[in-house]
Amino acid sequence: MSEDITSDSPNLNLLRHDKKSKFLFIDFESYNLCLHRDFNAPWQAGLMMVQNNRVLDSKEILFNWGGKFQMKLGNPSFGHYSERTIQEKGMMPKEALNLIIDCFNNCDYVVGHNLMKFDIFILKELYALYRPASEDYRVWVDKIIDTKALALAIKLNVNKTLDESLQEFQFRFLNYFKKGLKTNLTFLCKEYGIEVDETKLHSAVADLEYNLQIFNKQKYQLDI
């Protein structure tokens, strides 16, 4: 991997110059890290629609699974979870998924951190449960921007080439691992000088606000 990163490309088609597209930032918080619907499910989703760096709408969705899943004490989002609130304000999972899909239909890009390796599989399982077999969750893949993949590219000093799509570029880093190379949300915030309230981390909407700030830095470091 040897392509040098360019920070001031004159190409007006780059995302740093895009004032019209709508970017849907999304984050799922789940009961555990397992990616099988029989053992794990989302309890919370954060959705934030952004256009020209302005937040148009932001919402929290709570999934009410009727007590099927239990939150473990060691879960990073444990401190933000309340079964009582879930029962009072949570939506039926099918209804919650329909709302998320409506948001997908009204955006140009779907942005998340580790979206390609975790959140997309949460979405896959929701589709399997509640959407017709003829509908494929992968229809959204071409819209995905994964800030974790972009972080890896930046740390490895690799830029997107002209002959590859944004998705192809990100897939290059999907399974890349190097000991000591940190790309988690908290570390990136500190690296970029973004002030973090650690009591709010792993709450979906708060994480989206941090991820927006990270993405606004990244799009000036890569020709995407």
Nearest to 155 by CA among 181, 122, 186, 123: 181
* CA separation for the pair 34, 60 (Å, rounded): 22
* CA separation for the pair 172, 160 (Å, rounded): 10
* Residue 4, pLDDT above cutoff 50: no
Packing angle, helices 185-192 and 204-218, rounded to 10? 50
pLDDT band for position 10 (50/70/90)?
low
In this structure, the number of other CB atoms found within 10 A of the CB of residue 176 comes to: 15
CB neighbour list of residue 175: distance below 8 Å, 6 or more residues apart: none
Q: Is 10 helix (H, G, I), strand (E, B) or coil?
A: coil
Q: Are 183 and 89 in contact (CB under 8 A)?
A: no
In this structure, the number of other CB atoms found within 10 A of the CB of residue 207 comes to: 23
Nearest to 18 by CA among 108, 92, 105: 108
* CA separation for the pair 89, 83 (Å, rounded): 10
Mean pLDDT of 155-165: 95
- Strand 109-112 and strand 22-30: the pairing is parallel
Q: What is the pTM of this model?
A: 0.92
What is the pLDDT of the chain when averaged over all its residues?
93
> Which residues are bridge partners to 54 per DSSP?
51
Give me the pLDDT at residue 2, please: 42
* CA separation for the pair 81, 94 (Å, rounded): 20
* Residue 100, pLDDT above cutoff 60: yes
Side by side, the strands of the sheet bearing 54-62 are 54-62, 42-51, 22-30, 109-112, 144-146
CB-count burial class (<10 Å; 0-12, 13-18, 19+) for 45: buried
* Residue 113, pLDDT above cutoff 60: yes
